[in-house]
Amino acid sequence: MDGEELTQQETELYDRQIRVWGVDAQRRLSKANVLVCGMTGTVAEFCKNIVLAGVGSVTLVDDGVVTEAALSANFLIPPDESVSKGRTLAELCCDSLLEFNSMVRVSVEKGDISSFGEDFFSKFDVVVISSSSLATKKLINEKCRRLLRRVAFYTVDCRDSCGEIFVDLQNYKYTKKKVDEAVEFELKYPSFEEAITTPWKRLPRRMARLYFAMRVIEKFEEAEGRKPGETSILDFPGVMKKRQELCEEESFNESQIPDYLLERLVVGTREFPPVCAVIGGILGQEVIKAISGKGDPLKNFFFFDAFDGKGIIEDISNPDAAS
């Protein structure tokens, strides 16, 4: 995009959303570069949203091939095997996404994201990680935090009919118009590691249980050397043991992480499309807010469970962690 003004094409196409967030925000979006890793159904939704919104570029990382699970939740993957044969998920999704908005540069980056250096990440304004191990999440988050320019970092995971989003905007300053004056806000976000090492007993009494359940599953997968989502009902006893272990460490009441919730997450490793739409939508909004600098970003976890229908924000930060 040349020059500072929006083009005629952009003004026409983006009219309805410019009425929501204004021309300045739209300009900033058009300059933003987003990196996405893990082409799950939820991430497909997210990509669709930000491509429609008109970000500058989206880079996809996922060398996996098409599976039945992938097809069941990801509408960007063509069902025809002759089309998808030999192509990675990232490549297939890239082709579909390019159709949604010709002004957005969508591309693929091959390789293992944990092996990419800081130079690579410095090219982006936003990094979104999905379906990744605990170690990978921490690693990428750290790489982003070490960069000179601020890179917004998100993780997103959906299992069964639940979803979790984590947000790290580091030190984030933004302004809001209150009546006639512009008020400046500053939020300090903990890193992923800092957040999840917050002692459980320090957390508010009424917290989304999904947070704890996800941490148990995460730790279980790490201890067993599993890929994210590689669990089945056979693992349920093992997961319950892990829960017991963690609750002892944290002096936390086991009944706060109910059996039935863990069972759902262990067994229901496939994504549930309506939840992909909800989580992909919330995440899309968050990334748009962070890029445009407009609107209160959520801090720092978001949970959704289709069972109760609540979409909850939890602020999980460790007061003891060195900042």
Contact status: 82 vs other proteins (CB under 8 A): no
**Considering the complex, what minimum distance in angstroms separates the CB of residue 114 from other proteins?**
29
Nearer to other proteins, 99 or 249 (CB): 99
Cα(160)–Cα(162) distance, integer angstroms: 6
Contact status: 166 vs other proteins (CB under 8 A): no
Contact status: 3 vs other proteins (CB under 8 A): no
Q: 171: exposed, middle or buried (C-beta count within 10 Å: 0-12, 13-18, 19+)? A: exposed
Q: Which two tokens stand for residue 96?
A: 């579909």
Q: Binding segment for other proteins among 9-17, 61-69, 107-115, 127-135 (CB under 8 A)?
A: 9-17
Residue with tokens 């410019």, as numbered in its chain: 18
Residue of 160, 172, 187, 117 lying closest to 268 (CA atoms): 160
Which one of 56, 64, 238, 258 is in contact with other proteins (CB under 8 A)? 258
C-alpha distances in Å from residue 113, one per residue of 27, 117, 118, 269 = 29, 9, 11, 22
For residues 106, 110, 111 and 112, what is the CA-based torsion angle, rounded to 10 degrees? 20
Tell me if 301 sits within 8 A of 183, measured CB to CB. Answer: no
Considering only residues 100 through 159, tell me which ones interact with other proteins, judged by CB under 8 A: 100, 102
The bridge status of strand 57-61 relative to strand 33-37 is parallel
**Considering the complex, what minimum distance in angstroms separates the CB of residue 261 from other proteins?**
8
Nearer to other proteins, 47 or 144 (CB): 47
Question: Beta partners for 222?
Answer: none
Which one of 305, 316, 317, 318 is in contact with other proteins (CB under 8 A)? 305
Contact status: 274 vs other proteins (CB under 8 A): yes
Nearer to other proteins, 36 or 139 (CB): 36
Cα(273)–Cα(55) distance, integer angstroms: 24
Which one of 206, 232, 233, 322 is in contact with other proteins (CB under 8 A)? 206
Nearer to other proteins, 3 or 117 (CB): 3
DSSP annotation of 322 reads -
Contact status: 169 vs other proteins (CB under 8 A): no
Which spans of this chain sit near other proteins (rule: CB under 8 A)? 5, 11-21, 23, 41, 45, 48-49, 52-54, 72-73, 75-79, 99-100, 102, 160-161, 206, 258, 260, 264, 268, 270, 272-278, 280-282, 284-285, 288, 295-296, 298, 302, 304-314
